[in-house]
Amino acid sequence: MRRLARILWIAVFAASGGAAAAANFDPAQIAAIDKAADAFAALGKDAYKTGEPPRQSDPAAKKLLDVIFGTSGLNAGATPVPFEQIDALNDWASRIVKTGMIYVFAGTGIADIAKLQDLNPKVPEQIAKNTTAFALEIGRFYDAQLSVSRAEIDAVAAEMAAHPDKFASAGAAAGLARMQGGVTQTLVGVVTTFPVPGLEPGWMRERELALIAIAPSAAGFLEPDSRKQIRDAAMQVADTMTDQAVKDGLIAFAKTISP
């Protein structure tokens, strides 16, 4: 149930960013992402009932996922995405999460996570099964989410350093706290997926690449309590891992987050 709560919090956080125009980021790319996400949502609209979301093995689905989850190069430059383009990143993050949730909630009977109230006790069990059954797609979902989160962190951190007065108001501070909370829940959520039965060590090592990539940015952005929460979660999961490379990767991530 704790794992499900994290997933839902992440979904609400990302969706709350809105879908503002992204004129300064890469309009063609964002427009293509929006179009692909809408098309994928149509393909997977019944997955919550059937338990059969579109798979990457389907060329049509893969083409759409490549657009939605295609974050390679986003953080490759030395200069962060300009803060003025944060709405575009939020839009992208929202699309990534909504697409990923099609896999997470496949077969649960949950069509709209925003309207969740009384959860069937079997839902967390189904989500765990989905994580293994759709590991390829959910892995890409996590990687893309972490990549866009890193870009958002770097954009905000650069703006805070250049214009600290912008973040002095109560409203700005509250927004910053929500973002920090969202990043914390995202990182904890990914790490605590590792013990799900049936996940391969290779899958975990691939996720660790994205975790270690975001770790320096997150370490400089989050408050000490949040860093400790992430570190503790990573170290606890590391203790359960039998694959030494996975264990070492989690420890390295934890130590980067909170030395």
Give residue-wise pLDDT tens across range 3-51. 443 444 343 334 333 333 333 357 568 999 999 999 999 999 999 999 9
Residues of the chain above pLDDT 90, percent: 73
Residue 32, judged by CB atoms within 10 A of its CB (0-12, 13-18, 19+), counts as middle
Tell me what pLDDT residue 12 has. 39
Instruction: List, in order, residues 6 or more apart from 123 with CB less than 8 Å away.
Output: 4, 108, 110
Euclidean distance between CA atoms 179 and 107, whole angstroms: 30
Mean pLDDT of 225-249: 98
Structure-token pair, residue 20: 């503002």
Tell me what pLDDT residue 63 has. 98
Q: For residue range 130-161, what is the model confidence (pLDDT) as tens digits?
A: 999 999 999 999 999 999 999 999 999 999 99
Lowest mean pLDDT among 15-29, 44-58, 189-203, 220-234: 15-29
Structure-token pair, residue 84: 């003025």
C-beta neighbour count of 122 within 10 angstroms:
11
Number of structural domains in the chain: 1
Higher pLDDT, 65 or 2: 65
Euclidean distance between CA atoms 17 and 142, whole angstroms: 18
Domain boundaries, position 216: 2-257
pTM of the model: 0.88
